[in-house]
Amino acid sequence: MKQGVTFDAGVLIALERRKGRALKVHKRLMELGVAISVPWVVVVEWWRGRTDVRETILRTVDVELPSVALAKLAGVALARAPGGRAMTIDAVVMASAALRGDVVYTTDFDDLERLRAVFPSVRVLAI
């Protein structure tokens, strides 16, 4: 099984705004057939109404539905995050990636990198 990737809301926003690096990474992942996942809460953060562009982007990712296991893991991450400054959505993104063994792509590198103290196996890459 190929390693997958998880996108945060910032990456979806960057794709929607046609930002070069996001488009390049997304295109390459699609060419390689890499599974791209987003937790459902990322869609909540990003979706601000239907547009053709949003629908197109959404068709290229797998939306992970909520689960009790994911909620518990993210909650533990919030409790253990250095400085207690982690946001719920960031903890969910990292927990989701950790459960699948994914790499995370983000536009919020510092916050997600801080959560690596809880999820050391998750590699975080900036877009």
pLDDT in tens, 52-111: 999 999 999 999 999 999 999 999 999 999 887 789 999 999 999 999 999 999 999 999
The SS3 call for residue 77 is helix
Distance (Å, whole) CA 18 – CA 27: 12
Distance (Å, whole) CA 90 – CA 57: 20
pLDDT digits (tens, 9 = 90+) for 9-24: 999 999 999 999 999 9
What is the pLDDT confidence band of residue 120, given thresholds at 50, 70 and 90? Answer: very high
What structural domains does the chain harbor?
Answer: 5-126 (3.40.50.1010)
Nearest-CA neighbor of 106 among 3, 1, 11? 11
* Mean pLDDT (whole number) for 27-50: 97
The SS3 call for residue 90 is helix
Please list, residue by residue across 94-105, b when 16 or more beta carbons sit within 10 angstroms of its beta carbon and e when fewer do.
bbbbbbbebbbb
**pLDDT value of residue 127:** 95
pLDDT of 40 over the 70 cut:
yes
C-alpha angle 84-45-18 in degrees, rounded to nearest 5: 115
